[in-house]
């Protein structure tokens, strides 16, 4: 049971969508296709290679799949459907093509550090059957795309109202701003690494640009991308009140809030900041000083180094 218990919240999330009168058909189709996608792209390669890094291919293309299905099957206002569909497709393709490039360059022939860190967690939790744990993890990622991560898209695209709410405008602005921030952070780090390589410097800490104010500005921006979608979904969730039972409607609202919590936990603790820093401290001599002066996630002022 300890191997499968992490799946239960996501199974419940998918079940919630399947009990929704408005979202049943698209949620059933998405769930089945997500599981097929992850079986082929993640589960089988993971089983053959004993490496979980293939999740980084399956997850973003799963987001793209959500966007495509939303565009094809949703019956809400056409402009609203187009905007949210393109948001998922664009974000998914950006990360998906990046993952395919890493695969082509042979970078997936070695397990990514965050997944090595996850294997250490399993050992501490008494999960000694690593092969089973990896398969459960892969299925969990597929179920996340089948459940909570699809809810903002499906809820927004189900809204037939032609008028655009101020919440939707704010949500789009937040999404765009966060997406730009994430792209800038990635470019700043890539530029820093290129300069260090050219100068012959190794294991230096990237503390320039946005990285002066957060040790993981790209993760913070990714979290805000999802928060932008959640803000934009508020009017559409309110509109569902007329179409759903009060229980399903309330649970969908709670599920939308849970998306923010899921992404925060993932980006900070699960596969994000904490696993990355576990190895950075060992690899980069100046990283402990960086930890003392710079926030881990939320951008803030540079702190005075503790003596």
Q: 153, 70 in Cβ contact below 8 A?
A: yes
Q: What is the mean pLDDT of residues 222-236?
A: 97
Which pLDDT value is given to residue 306?
Answer: 57
Predicted confidence band at 305 (pLDDT cuts at 50, 70, 90)?
low
How high does pLDDT run on average in the chain? 95
Give domain status of residue 301, yes or no: no
Q: 138-189 pLDDT, tens per residue? A: 999 999 999 999 999 999 999 999 989 999 999 999 999 999 999 999 999 9
CB atoms within 10 A of CB 295: 17
Give domain status of residue 32, yes or no: yes
Which pTM value belongs to this model? 0.94
Q: 74-84 pLDDT, tens per residue? A: 999 999 999 99
pLDDT-above-90 percentage for the chain: 94
Give domain status of residue 299, yes or no: no
Which pLDDT value is given to residue 302?
Answer: 82
Give domain status of residue 196, yes or no: yes
Using the predicted structure, report yes or no on whether residue 278 has a pLDDT greater than 80: yes
The total number of structural domains that make up the chain? 1
Taking the C-alpha atoms of residue 223 and residue 203, their distance in angstroms, rounded to an integer, is 27
Give domain status of residue 303, yes or no: no
Give domain status of residue 305, yes or no: no
Q: Which domain holds residue 93?
A: 5-293
At residue 12's C-alpha, the angle toward residues 10 and 14, to 5°, is: 70
Give domain status of residue 124, yes or no: yes
């Amino acid at each position: 049971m300890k191997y499968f218990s992490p799946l239960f919240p996501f199974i419940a999330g998918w079940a919630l969508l399947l009990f929704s009168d408005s979202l049943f058909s698209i949620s059933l189709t998405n769930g089945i296709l997500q599981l097929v996608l992850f079986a082929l792209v993640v589960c089988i390669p993971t089983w053959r290679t004993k490496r979980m890094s293939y999740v980084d291919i399956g997850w973003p293309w799963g987001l793209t799949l959500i966007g495509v299905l939303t565009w094809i099957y949703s019956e809400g206002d056409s402009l609203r459907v187009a905007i949210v569909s393109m948001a998922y497709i664009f974000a998914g393709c950006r990360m998906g093509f990046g993952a395919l490039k890493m695969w082509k360059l042979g970078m997936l022939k070695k397990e990514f550090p965050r997944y090595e860190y996850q294997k250490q967690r399993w050992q501490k939790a008494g999960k000694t059957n690593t092969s089973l744990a990896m398969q459960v993890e892969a299925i969990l990622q597929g179920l996340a795309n089948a459940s909570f991560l699809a809810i903002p898209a499906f809820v927004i695209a189900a809204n037939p109202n032609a008028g655009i709410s101020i919440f939707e405008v704010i949500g789009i602005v937040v999404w765009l701003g966060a997406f730009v921030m994430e792209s800038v952070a990635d470019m700043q780090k890539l530029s820093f690494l290129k300069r260090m390589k050219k100068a012959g410097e190794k294991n230096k800490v990237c503390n320039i640009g946005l990285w002066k104010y957060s040790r993981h500005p790209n993760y913070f921006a990714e979290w805000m991308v999802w928060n932008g979608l959640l803000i934009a979904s508020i009017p559409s969730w309110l509109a569902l009140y007329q179409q759903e039972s009060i229980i399903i409607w309330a649970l969908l609202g709670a599920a939308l809030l849970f998306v923010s919590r899921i992404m925060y936990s993932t980006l900070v603790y699960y596969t994000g900041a904490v696993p990355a820093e576990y190895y950075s401290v060992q690899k980069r001599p100046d990283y402990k000083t960086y930890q003392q002066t710079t926030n881990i996630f939320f951008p803030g002022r540079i702190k005075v180094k503790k003596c």
